[in-house]
Amino acid sequence: MAPSIRSLHHVTATVAEPSPDVRFYTGVLGLRLVKRTVNFDNPGVYHLYYGDERGNPSTLMTTFPYAGKGVRVGTIGAGQITVTSFSVPVGSLEFWRDRLGAQDQAFTTGTERFGERSLMLEDPSGLNIELLEGTGDSRAPWISPGVEPEAAVRGVHGVTLVVRRASDSIRFATEVLGLEVAGRTGRRTRLAAANGGPGSYLEVLESEHAPDAVNGLGTVHHVAMAVKGDEEQLAFQERLRSGGYQVTDVRDRQYFRSIYFREPGGILYEIATEGPGFTLDEDLSELGTVLKLPPWEEENRDSIEAALPPIQDENE
């Protein structure tokens, strides 16, 4: 049987300071901090994961706070994910207007598309964040103080990719990854993974005027899509290789396993396994409360902790 992409898995961004990042994603958006660990490729930097109670695939936003580590501010543009959209219930935008206003968080009203309305805002590092009404979203939300269950974020809705030539990116997504075209409006094409619905969308937006993207602080680094397990991941790796695409070996990310490759528009994609998940090394009730390190970094814990800035989290 052909392997399939079941949904998005996570979105990962390069951000500035960790404390404002935690305050925004937990204190403003109301997500749960489900893991505080380090960038496995650069353990001098945190890797923070936000999501639902369990950090289920498709609910996850993850950040690398690189402020003070010699990384410049990036440019949001073509060849990059330009907007990360979170799914909120239909009819909840009034709640979010009030909540954002009360927190002095600036926002604008987005353009309705595919019958879904939105609010646009920026996170503390300058990432474009959208709260988008997710039609037919049955995911159970994490409930944090001050957020009504009827309004809480359900998870990631999708991402917007800006590319110069949409046709190449769409062909790759449909023919190699098996995604389906779920809708078109103007120069925007909504692609969906097998499960469909919010949490499974990639929206390809063609633009010849957007600046060239530059990775750096305040930009999305990659989007990951979820497969059931190792067998499906290896099948995709083989399919990519036989199609002549460069793809990495399988990397052990503790909470899932990953392969990485670039789509034709230059955007970094990842295919990640759904398991083993974030309860691998912490109880469900304790997720995100202490710094977790992969086993191969435990011997360096003292020096790693000494080099990381403390996280001041006013929500705790």
Q: Using CB under 5 A as the criterion, which residues of the chain lie in contact with Zn ion when the complex forms? A: 12, 224, 270
- What is the distance between the alpha carbons of residues 28 and 33, in angstroms, rounded to a whole number? 12
- What is the distance between the alpha carbons of residues 42 and 14, in angstroms, rounded to a whole number? 13
End-to-end CA gap in the chain: 47
The least CB distance from residue 95 to Zn ion, in Å, is: 30
Nearer to Zn ion, 17 or 270 (CB): 270
- What is the distance between the alpha carbons of residues 312 and 316, in angstroms, rounded to a whole number? 9
Q: Which residues face 203 on adjacent strands?
A: 160, 190
Nearer to Zn ion, 189 or 233 (CB): 233
Nearer to Zn ion, 12 or 87 (CB): 12
Nearer to Zn ion, 224 or 227 (CB): 224
Please list, in sequence order, all residues whose beta carbon lies within 8 angstroms of the beta carbon of residue 291, skipping any fewer than 6 positions away.
36, 37, 38, 304, 305, 308
Q: What is the DSSP string of 130-164?
A: EEEE-TT--PPPP--TT--TTTS--EEEEEEEEES
Nearer to Zn ion, 52 or 270 (CB): 270
> Could you tell me if 14 and 215 are in contact, meaning their C-beta atoms sit under 8 angstroms apart?
yes
- CA-CA-CA-CA torsion sign (60, 121, 102, 157): negative
Chain Cα centroid distance, residue 70: 23
The least CB distance from residue 133 to Zn ion, in Å, is: 26
**Separation in Å, CA 196 to CA 65, 82, 136, 153:** 31, 21, 10, 18
Nearer to Zn ion, 202 or 224 (CB): 224
The least CB distance from residue 171 to Zn ion, in Å, is: 24
The least CB distance from residue 250 to Zn ion, in Å, is: 13
The least CB distance from residue 266 to Zn ion, in Å, is: 17
- Helix and strand element counts for the chain (H, E): 5, 16
How big, in percent rounded to 5, are the helix, strand and coil portions of the chain?
A: 20, 35, 45
Nearer to Zn ion, 27 or 199 (CB): 199
Residue closest to 133 by CA, chosen among 160, 149, 153, 161: 153
The least CB distance from residue 260 to Zn ion, in Å, is: 8
Nearer to Zn ion, 12 or 128 (CB): 12
Nearer to Zn ion, 88 or 271 (CB): 271
The least CB distance from residue 42 to Zn ion, in Å, is: 14
The least CB distance from residue 31 to Zn ion, in Å, is: 17
Find out whether the peptide bond into 276 is cis, omega within 30 degrees of 0: yes
- What is the distance between the alpha carbons of residues 154 and 142, in angstroms, rounded to a whole number? 8
The least CB distance from residue 127 to Zn ion, in Å, is: 15
